[in-house]
Amino acid sequence: MKSKKPGKNPKKKMTRREFLRVGARAGLALGAAGVAGGAFLRGRQTADLRWQLDPDKCIQCGRCATHCVLTPSAVKAVHAYDVCGYCELCSGYFKPNALLLDTAAENRLCPVSAIKRTFVEDPYYQYTIDTDLCIGCGKCVKGCQSFGNGSLFLQAMHDRCVNCNECAIARACPARAWTRLPASAPYMLKGKSRGSGDAKK
């Protein structure tokens, strides 16, 4: 099997910074301080709050794609690059039974081809989500956390979400992963990336 979880590599880190500089990533910064407890939220007005899902509770059931009032869903996959292994064999990008590690549709997990695979340097690849295409199905998230570093996760995007009084996905979520966060910090990071201050999409 090809390299899947590369260790620390200074050359790779430089390349990643270069990607940051040239703006290869879209510009959403996820609020690292977004984890708010119930006590913190008490007393706030609903208008000051935004619906969000906790990616550590999410089990990728698929309802984020099908139960949003918007089509496509306001929920999208996002990527914590500082946690990503830049794997050649990315389990969030390739089907488990992929015959070749190439960009042919039959080898890719994403049903709408929303993940772009870009060669960085041997053996590293960067994976970027096209949020206009992403439907929030969570297949890439499940693949990444099953066999990879868990750097992909779902978030409700607040440039799209209309902040329903009662979120239809929250009502249907089997993992009770949804909560409301302050409008000033409406995103949550996942797992290891919660300790990283600069995870970005």
Could you give the residue ranges of the DSSP H alpha helices within 5-111?
10-21, 38-41, 63-66
26 vs 69, beta carbon nearer ligand SF4: 69
Residue 80 binding ligand SF4, by CB under 6 A? no
Residue 87 binding ligand SF4, by CB under 6 A? no
163 vs 196, beta carbon nearer ligand SF4: 163
Residue 70 binding ligand SF4, by CB under 6 A? yes
∠ CA 115-9-138, nearest 5°, is 25
Is residue 155 a contact partner of residue 55, using CB atoms and an 8 Å limit? Answer: yes
156 vs 189, beta carbon nearer ligand SF4: 156
Is residue 8 a contact partner of residue 86, using CB atoms and an 8 Å limit? Answer: no
Residue 148 binding ligand SF4, by CB under 6 A? no
Six token digits for residue 63: 């309802």
**Least Å from the CB of residue 9 to ligand SF4:** 26
Q: At residue 201, what is the residue type?
A: K
Part in contact with ligand SF4 (CB under 6 A); list of ranges 41-49, 69-77, 120-128, 190-198:
69-77
- Report the SS3 class of residue 94: strand
CA 32 to chain centre: 14
CA 146 to chain centre: 14
Among 26, 59, 99, 104, binds ligand SF4 (CB under 6 A): 59
- Tell me the pairing of strands 115-121 and 49-53: unpaired
Among 16, 30, 51, 188, binds ligand SF4 (CB under 6 A): 51
Among 68, 83, 89, 189, binds ligand SF4 (CB under 6 A): 68
Residue 183 binding ligand SF4, by CB under 6 A? no
Query: Exposed, middle or buried: residue 98 (CB in 10 Å: 0-12, 13-18, 19+)?
Result: middle
Residue 168 binding ligand SF4, by CB under 6 A? yes
Residue 189 binding ligand SF4, by CB under 6 A? no
* Radius of gyration of the chain, Cα coordinates, nearest whole angstrom: 17
Residues forming the site for ligand SF4 (CB under 6 A): 51, 53, 58-61, 63-64, 68-70, 74-75, 77, 109-110, 112, 114-115, 129, 134-140, 156, 161-164, 167-169, 173-175, 177
